Structures are given as C-alpha cells and as structure tokens.
Amino acid sequence: MKIVVCIKQVPETNDVTIDPKTHNLDRRGLAGVMNPFDKNAVEQALQFKATTDAQVVLLSMGPDDYAQSLREGMAMGADSGVLLSDRAFAGADTLATGYVIAKAIEKIGDVDLVIFGRQAVDADTGQVGPIVAEFLQQPQITYAATLRLSGPNEVTAERLLEDTKQTLVAQLPAVVSVRSELNPPRYPTPRNIQLSFEKPLTIWHHDDLDLDDSRLGQAGSPTIVTKVYAPKPVKRELTPLTGTPQEAASQLIKALKDRQLL
Amino acid sequence: MSKPELWVVAERRLDHIEPTTQQLITKANQLAGDRFHVVAVLLEATTDHLEDELTTYGPDEIRVVRDDRFPTATDAELADALKQLVDAAQPNTVLFGATITGRSIAPRLQAKLQTGLTADCLDLRFDDDTLVATKPSYGDNIMCEIICPDRRPQMATVRPNTFAAQPTPNGAELTTAKVDFHPVTRLHVTAATPVVNTATTVGDASRVVALGRGAASAATIDAATQLAERLGGRIGVSRPLTDQDRFTHDDQIGQSGNTIHPDLILNFGISGAVQYLVGMQDSQTIVSVNSDPNAPIFAASDYGYVGDAQAFMTALLGQFA
Ligand SMILES: Cc1cc2nc3c(=O)[nH]c(=O)nc-3n(C[C@H](O)[C@H](O)[C@H](O)COP(=O)(O)OP(=O)(O)OC[C@H]3O[C@@H](n4cnc5c(N)ncnc54)[C@H](O)[C@@H]3O)c2cc1C
Ligand SMILES: Cc1cc2nc3c(=O)[nH]c(=O)nc-3n(C[C@H](O)[C@H](O)[C@H](O)COP(=O)(O)OP(=O)(O)OC[C@H]3O[C@@H](n4cnc5c(N)ncnc54)[C@H](O)[C@@H]3O)c2cc1C
C-alpha cells in the first residue's frame, strides 16, 4: 500500500504584522514549520504503516526551504519526501496548487490513499484536499475524526458535521482530510531524526511533470489577493458603570430597559 | 437582457435549513439591489418542502431540484449536480455557508468549474460585477480582500453567523430544475446519527453571558448560570475556559470558536484579545466587567464596570429578584 501525505510549511507563529509602508505581510524572521494539522495526517499514515506494509511518501509544493518540513515528517517516520519546487509554481492559489499536487500524485503512481491536514493555519482555506480529490476523480472524506483500514482495499471514517455524525466507507484509492481530534502526533525520536537525513528527498521541477502551463502559479490562479490589513476591532463609545457593584448593577438595569433589552 | 444571477446554495441541517443559508439570502438581497437576480438553489428529496423555510427570506427565486438521493448524497455527487446547474444557468456568483458541508462541496465544485473560491469570508461587497470577499487568515490576525476578476462564477464560503437573517414579506418565485444524478459508487455513508443538541447553542442565543479566565471559579460560574437563565440566554466562554469540564469547544466565542451577534452580551473576566473580539464585536449591546481598568475589552464595549466579576453578578441577580 502506498500513502501520500501532503504537507505545507507555514510560519512558526501567526503573529504576523503588516508593513506600515508597503502594506504587505511582514514575514521576516519567521521560521517555517510543518503545518500543525498536517502532523495529524502524517501520524495517521504512520499508524497504518505500523499495521500494514504501507509506504509513506510526503509531498509538498513550495520553495526549497520547504525541505525542512519534509525532513521533519521523515524524522517522525515517513519513508521519503517529494518537493515540488519551481518558480513557475509560485503565487498559486488553491486551484493552481491542487493542480500541481494532483499531477505529482499521478506521477508518484499507484497511490492508494492521499491524506491532507484539515487546513493550513496561515491561509486557512481547507480547499486543497477536495480540489485534488476532484482532479484525481477519487472519492473524498473531509474532516475525518477517525480513520481505519476496514478491509484490504477500504477505509472507514467518522466525520462530524454540525448536526450529524456520519460513518463513511470508501474504496481505495481515496482522498481524506483529517481533523486534529484524530490523534496526538508523535515526536521525532533522535534515531529517526538521524535516519531522516538518509531517506530520499526528491525535488521535482516544472519539467519533471506533465503540466499545462496556463494552469500554473499566479497565471493559473483565478483569485487575487488585492489587499491585506490588520483587523481593527470596532471601537465603541464606552459608558462607564460606577460606584459599588449594587450601584453599577442598577445603572445597567436602567440602561438595558432604555434599550428595550429588559 | 436578464440580470446576472447571484446564487446562495441552500444547505440542509437535519430536517431543516441551515441558518447560514437564510443569513446569506438576506445578505445577497442587500448586495443585489436591482442589479442581480438572487436565486436560492435547493437540492432536496421529492417529499421535502424545505423551500418553505427560504421563502420567508425573500430571494427572487428558489430553484428546487428534487431527487430522493440528495439527503444522503456525498460531496462529489452534490458537486456534480451543482456543476450541471451552473452550466445551465451561468450564474455570476455562487455563495455557500462555510460550514463543514459547504467547505467540502464548494472546493470540489470549484475544481470542476476551474474558478476561484474565497474561503470563510467575513464580508462581501460588489465592485461592478466583481465580488470583493474579505477573509481572515493567520488565525484572524490578518484580513485580506480577494477577488476573482476573470472567471465566472466567482465563489465564496461565508462564515456562519456573520450576517443576520431578516425575514421579508416579498416572497419568492418557486421554480424547478433537473439534473442527472451520477452516483459515486466507491463511497458510501453507512450511518448517520444526529448529534442531539436540543439546547440552543451559543451561536443561536440572543442573550449571552460570557466568561473568561477572570470569572472561572465554580461560584462565579454558578452565578453566571443563574444570570443566563434569568436573561433567557446562554453561557459562552473565552478559549482558556474550554479546558474546564463544564465547557467544550462548542461554547467558545472567538475566531477559533463561534462568531456570534446576540442582542446582548455580558463579558465577565475577559481581557479582550483580538481573537476573542472578532467573535463577538457585532453584538448589539456589549457590557463588560473586568478588574483591570486598562483591559482592551472596554474599548469594544458599550457599558463597562471596573471591578470583581462575581460581585457584580451577585448584585445584578439581587436586583432582578
Ligand atoms: C492571506 C492569504 C489568503 C488566501 N486566501 C485564499 C483563498 O481564499 N482562496 C484561494 O484559492 N487561495 C487563497 N490563498 C492562496 C493559498 O494560500 C495557496 O493556494 C496555498 O498554496 C494553499 O492553500 P491553503 O494554504 O489555504 O491550504 P489548505 O487548503 O488550507 O490546506 C489543506 C491541506 O492541503 C495540503 N496543502 C496545502 N498547501 C500545500 C502545499 N503547498 N503543498 C503540499 N500540500 C499542501 C496540506 O495537507 C494542508 O493541510 C490565500 C493566500 C494568502 C497568503
Ligand atoms: C490562533 C489563535 C486563536 C485563538 N482563538 C481564540 C478564540 O476563538 N476565543 C478566545 O477566547 N481566545 C482565542 N485565542 C486566545 C486569545 O488570544 C486569548 O488568550 C484569550 O481570549 C484570553 O482569554 P481570557 O480573556 O479569558 O483570559 P485572560 O487574557 O487571562 O484575561 C482574564 C481577564 O480577567 C480579568 N480578571 C481577573 N480576575 C478578575 C475578577 N475577579 N473579576 C473581573 N475580572 C477579572 C483580568 O483583568 C483579565 O483581563 C486564540 C489565540 C490564538 C493565537
């Protein structure tokens, strides 16, 4: 069995600021780490590996320093990593990202299960998983809260909707995105960290994949971010309530009556 | 020439319409003016009448497609049905609730249509016929505006409870449409159990008593429970309190919890971190009690009392008695 886990590298903290001059995101000095939700996906794949002869391949699209997250995943125990790195891929929105990832999964070949994290904690869309599932024409299970191999060629998942707990059974190959409730991800052991440097990390550039150039990067991205800004909480006109708690409470009751809230 | 269509894809929640759908119809009506034709698209079983829960909110049209397989259909099957409807009508814009269901189907449809989808939006406006969608990112620390200038339809998922639903007397024209249902045989829903939650959630409550780390003792929570009962409301909490056994993530207000806009919220012992504020700043009347006069929560409040949370609750309960 071959499992691909898709991982994105994200800034270490979400405390990003806006450059007051350029109005661009200031990400200087922020170290990159594996998207926390993707660790749940890696953990799930490694649990399958422990009970079957599954091979776990990590896949990431991004600049060369994304190799760091792939190493992190291999230090958890994954077998190998593939990095999709090319100028032509830069500036991709979810559609263009999903396209290249789907093409790479086709090239990896004979993939039984693709696991995604719930969403990337920076852009927060959660869209790449379903897009890839559609491009691969495979069934998808999103927001899986549990996942198990329920047959030689089958996974069973529980998915929690707003009002319903669903049990879904998918024939492989299939695409699953997982919630963090699924598992506590393991930490890399010193031995696995050491081993990770001997595991194969392949870099695929534009020419390694069979791609339609009009669907890549910024040019292949229908959406454009036109503005970024720091959210300003709406400031309100504060009326202080004063005196003892009893006095303040009666001021409040009067105010709420005036506003027809009592 | 007929007006371009602005769609709201209706979502089912058990045997009802998901409230976000109604909120989106109200917002779509406001955005449309007389430039767009607002269509609520409803996929339901032949015996369903969910359109009755949409008419009240007055979209121009409710386009109903009936098939008994819809209520249990999978994401890919629903996306396929919607693709056929989009191809037939060429809407300008398609909106979904950013619920688990909406966030699963919309990107699948996006990939079929090869178009743009902006996720989890907190505001929408039109610039001519281009949708400008405001979405938070980096854990709500940053807002951005996203457009999809060249491709149609342009699509967005919108966070639940971002807009308020308002009934109108306008009614709606009811039409029907047909699609071919293409079953996906490799995926089956083998069980679906309703998660019974009879009490209203903090997201639905019109009065909320919100508790933070400064109002976390058992006695304070008991007083807050009485206060919430007296006001006919619910307790909500800031994130640190979800560690307590009494509260879960469902009770949390804020960017990684519920976005709420009740008529009245009373904040006790909450400092007012931005991640909390974004979840409740659209409440109608905001009252805050905090022992720190410099707590940021006061700048976002209509009424404020500097003092002890529990003492204030006790005083308030005393005067209600
Ligand atoms: C502020 C901001 C807002 C944005 N908003 C939107 C938007 O609304 N719509 C839109 O189309 N694009 C948007 N983008 C672009 C989007 O961030 C990129 O397309 C990104 O490559 C993938 O989207 P995501 O980060 O939301 O990932 P998600 O879809 O949230 O990620 C889900 C899962 O997909 C996998 N994954 C995601 N990215 C990669 C990758 N590069 N390599 C391998 N696996 C991956 C991971 O398993 C991850 O857990 C935005 C970008 C920014 C900076
Ligand atoms: C990515 C991310 C997402 C987040 N999402 C959320 C979210 O959805 N919701 C959320 O709430 N937080 C969220 N947070 C956390 C948020 O940043 C704050 O840490 C949190 O809101 C603080 O909760 P608090 O106000 O209850 O506690 P504190 O900040 O500790 O404030 C306690 C307050 O109580 C006051 N106080 C103390 N004693 C008393 C007393 N006896 N009487 C009255 N007042 C008293 C203090 O003066 C203080 O202001 C998120 C953070 C991150 C990084």
Q: What is the pTM of this model?
A: 0.83
Mutation target among B12, B100, B317 for the A interface, most CBs of A within 10 A: B100
**Partner-chain contact B116 A95, CB within 8 Å:** yes
ipTM: 0.85
Kindly state if the Cβ of B137 falls inside 6 Å of ligand 1: yes
Residue B308 confidence (pLDDT) above 50: yes
**Partner-chain contact B136 A231, CB within 8 Å:** yes
Q: Region B232-244: what's the mean pLDDT?
A: 93
Half-sphere exposure of B303 (CA within 13 A, CB side): 21
Task: Considering only the beta carbons, identify the residue of B14, B74, B300 that sits closest to A234.
Answer: B300
Q: Quick one: which ligand is closest to B215's CA?
A: 2
CATH class of B5-176: alpha beta
Quick check: helix, strand or coil at residue B47?
A: coil
pLDDT at A19: 73
| Ligand 1, atom 7: closest residue by C-alpha | B118
| Ligand 1, atom 9: closest residue by C-alpha | B118
Residue ranges matching CATH 3.40.50.620 in chain B? 5-176
**Partner-chain contact A223 B117, CB within 8 Å:** yes
How many angstroms away from the CA of A193 is the closest CA of chain B? 29
Chain A residues whose CB is inside 8 A of the B192 CB are: 164-167
Q: Could you tell me the domains of chain A? A: 2-215 (3.40.50.620)
| Whether domain B207-320 has CATH 3.40.50.1220 | yes
- The pLDDT tens digits of the residues spanning A187-200 come to 999 999 999 999 99
Alpha-carbon gap, residue B249 to A46, rounded angstroms: 28
Task: Considering only the beta carbons, identify the residue of B76, B195, B298 that sits closest to A165.
Answer: B195
* Alpha helices, H only, chain A: 36-51, 67-76, 94-108, 128-136, 190-196, 245-258
How many angstroms away from the CA of B18 is the closest CA of chain A? 9
Residue ranges matching CATH 3.40.50.1220 in chain B? 207-320
Kindly state if the Cβ of A98 falls inside 6 Å of ligand 1: no
Contacts of B319 (CB under 8 A, 6+ apart): A246, A249, A250, A253
- The pLDDT tens digits of the residues spanning A59-116 come to 999 999 999 999 999 999 999 999 999 999 999 999 999 999 999 999 999 999 999 9
**Partner-chain contact B144 A228, CB within 8 Å:** yes
